[in-house]
Amino acid sequence: MSGGVFTLVGRELALVWAERGGGAIALIFFVIVGSLFPFAVGPEPQVLLRIAPGIIWVSALLACLLSLERLFQPDAEDGTLEQLVVSGQSLESVAVAKMIAHWLTTALPLVILTPIMAAMLNAPVEVWGTLLLGLLLGTPALSAIGSVAAALTVGVRRGGVLISLLVLPLAVPTLIFGVGVSDPLAGASALKWLAATTLLALAVSPFAAAAGLRAAME
Amino acid sequence: MHRFANPARFLRIARAVQPWTAAAMAVAFAVGLYYALVASPIDYLQRDTVRIMYVHVPAAWMALGAYSTIAIASLVSIVWRHPLADVCARAAAPIGAVFTAICLITGSFWGKPTWGTWWQWDARMTSVLVLLFVYLGYMALWSAFDDRQRAARAASILALVGAINLPIIKFSVDWWNTLHQPASVFRRGGPTIHPDMLVPLLVMALAYLLFFVTTLLMRMRAELAAQRLEVAAERRALALEGAE
Amino acid sequence: MNEFFSMGGYAAYVWTAYAVTAIGLAGLGLASWRRMRALESRADRLRAVRRSERGQA
């Protein structure tokens, strides 16, 4: 099965690469949303540095939502999904591959861009490390939850909005613990719970997403 | 499983039972409201506003109770493919959502004279707010598909994913709350509930439960009737096609 | 009696909360009841029509 996932991920990455501009949209959105907050709350450095981890996390969460609608849709539409099943791939493998691909192409670039956002928002350098750690540990959960929502809503018109509605409440723990990693007092506790939440999300999501795909294909 | 899947049997039972649960509900509300508004003591600090507790707390209990119903029905749907399970889950959702909204609104009215603000981001209210969002997403998912079967499958998966997530959400909100607010000793209703306050609370809870059952039965009956109409319409469409 | 209505001065809060609850539950109950009646009577009428059709066929 792992060989299968590996090939599938490779295929996903090749597709995203071929799309060129596609992956960059999430990055641009991330920066734009993050930049909205100073407009909204004022440019006072003291205010911004207090809420910088929160701003970055919310912006990252919203940016991750963007590419979810198209996660399974194209393959479901042109029959690739059925072909994969016929050729022996389990839907769980497909789901895992999509999650990994989403994380690599959407979440990871955001994480890499985070120091720039942190600098813009006046976050102290000491916080950068915890911020990155939190995002690295937390964004896989976002990809996982997102792909479940995407699998459940394959083929739905304007599914993107519905996906957001489904994902956001489920993402609250990841958001809380993720930001919490940057907290001076509770960082260690937050890290522990963030890891636990992500592990649970990774464990459950492939099966939930596969079940959703199965329902779509019936 | 088909002998249980026969909706006619369920409909017979539902039609027989419903008047009784409705009557019991009316009695429970009458007794409960009397105790809540008249015959129960006022709180030392909160005075008469504590009476709001009697409509607020049972609403929170039923909000969770309704979701538990949906979760169990969804599990039955996934494991046994029992068609009534999907009907039950879909019917329960709006009721749960209304309870959740009532809990939030009455909580706000309880909070304003007590804490001074219309909304307090305390752990319980915040968790209930997230629960409302979960309900809304669940109902939106049901409405997103024309194909009833597909909707039922997707909704049952979402319900279970939500059920796993809800304790985690509650835990994370509690954690978040202790992080941002110092531990408050003053909990709504006090650390222990006086028996004179417990009785109206339980009677109101019973009234809410009977309301849930009665309304659930009505909504399930409506859902089954809608399905019958759908099937008949399909059959008619097919017959017309065949005649051409 | 006056005490009952004024709720120790908190009348606005207590009565509004109870009113919201009453409106919410009664509204949902009524809407559910009406929906049930409408759909069930339609379904019953349809079944009666089809029965008579089959009887004639």
The residues pairing with B43 across neighbouring beta strands, listed in sequence order, are: B47
Chain A residues touching residue B145 (CB < 8 angstroms): 156
Question: Using 50, 70 and 90 to split pLDDT, how confident is the model at A149?
Answer: very high
Q: Tokens at residue B69, please?
A: 């119903």
Q: What is the pTM of this model?
A: 0.92
Domain that holds residue B127: 52-179+193-243
Instruction: Indicate yes or no: CB of B102 within 8 angstroms of CB of C25.
Output: yes
List phi, psi (to 5°) of A102. -60, -45
Q: How far is CA A184 from CA A46, A122, B150, in A?
A: 16, 16, 47
DSSP A123: -
Kindly determine whether residue C40 and residue B219, on different chains, have CB atoms separated by under 8 Å: no
Residue with tokens 């089809």: C50
CA-wise closest residue to A81 among A64, A67, A93: A93
Where do the domains of chain C lie? 2-56
Span B32-89, pLDDT tens digits: 999 888 887 777 777 778 889 999 999 999 999 999 999 999 999 999 988 899 999 9
Contact flag C17-B214 (C-beta cutoff 8 Å): no
User: Does residue B68 belong to any structural domain of this protein?
Assistant: yes
Instruction: Retrieve residue A118's tokens.
Output: 């942190």
Using a threshold of 3 CB pairs under 8 A, tell whether chains B and C touch. Answer: yes
As for how many domains chain B has, the answer is 1
B150:A211 CB<8 A? no
Residue B122 has pLDDT above 90, yes or no: no
Q: What is the DSSP string of C1-57?
A: -HHHHHGGGTHHHHHHHHHHHHHHHHHHHHHHHHHHHHHHHHHHHHHHHHHHHHHH-
Residues of chain B contacting A172 with CB distance shorter than 8 Å: 130, 169, 172-173
Given a contact cutoff of 8 angstroms between Cβ atoms, the answer to whether B140 and A165 are in contact is: yes
- Give the pLDDT band of residue A88 (cuts 50, 70, 90): confident
- Answer yes or no: is B19 within a domain: no
pLDDT per residue as tens digits for the range A172-188: 999 999 999 998 888 99
What is the mean predicted confidence (pLDDT) over B154-172?
95
Question: Is residue B26 one of the residues assigned to a domain?
Answer: no
Query: Is residue B104 domain-resident?
Result: yes
Q: Name A172's Cβ contacts closer than 8 Å, sequence gap at least 6.
A: B130, B169, B172, B173
Block residue for tokens 């596969």: A210
Distances (CA, A) of B13 to B6, B10, B17, B155, C6: 12, 5, 6, 26, 45
The rounded distance, in Å, linking the Cα atoms of A142 and A146 is 6
Q: Which of A159, A186, A208 sits opposite B179 (nearest CB)?
A: A186
**Above 70 in pLDDT, residue A68?**
yes
Instruction: Provide, as residue numbers in chain B, all residues whose Cβ is less than 8 Å from the Cβ of A176.
Output: 172-173, 175-176
Residue B92 placed within a domain: yes
Q: Is the pLDDT of residue B184 over 70?
A: no
Distance from CA of B12 to the nearest CA of C (A): 13
pLDDT in tens, B80-120: 988 899 999 999 999 999 999 999 999 999 988 888 888 88
Residue B112 counted as domain residue: yes
Q: Which of A72-86, A192-206, B1-15 has the highest mean pLDDT?
A: A192-206
User: What percent of chain A shows pLDDT beyond 90?
Assistant: 64
Is B11 part of a structural domain of the chain?
Answer: no
Q: Which of residues 168-187 of B touch A (CB under 8 A)?
A: 168-169, 171-173, 175-176, 179
Interchain CB contact of B79 with A (< 8 Å): no
Instruction: Kindly state the tokens that stand for A110.
Output: 């955001």
Residues contacting A109, CB < 8 A, separation 6+:
A23, A26, A27
Amino acid at site B128: V
Q: Best residue in B228, B230, B231, B235 to probe C by mutation, most C CBs within 10 Å?
A: B228
Interface of B with A in 124-153 (CB under 8 A): 130, 133-134, 136-137, 140-141, 144-145, 149-150, 153
Q: Do A156 and B145 touch (CB under 8 A)?
A: yes
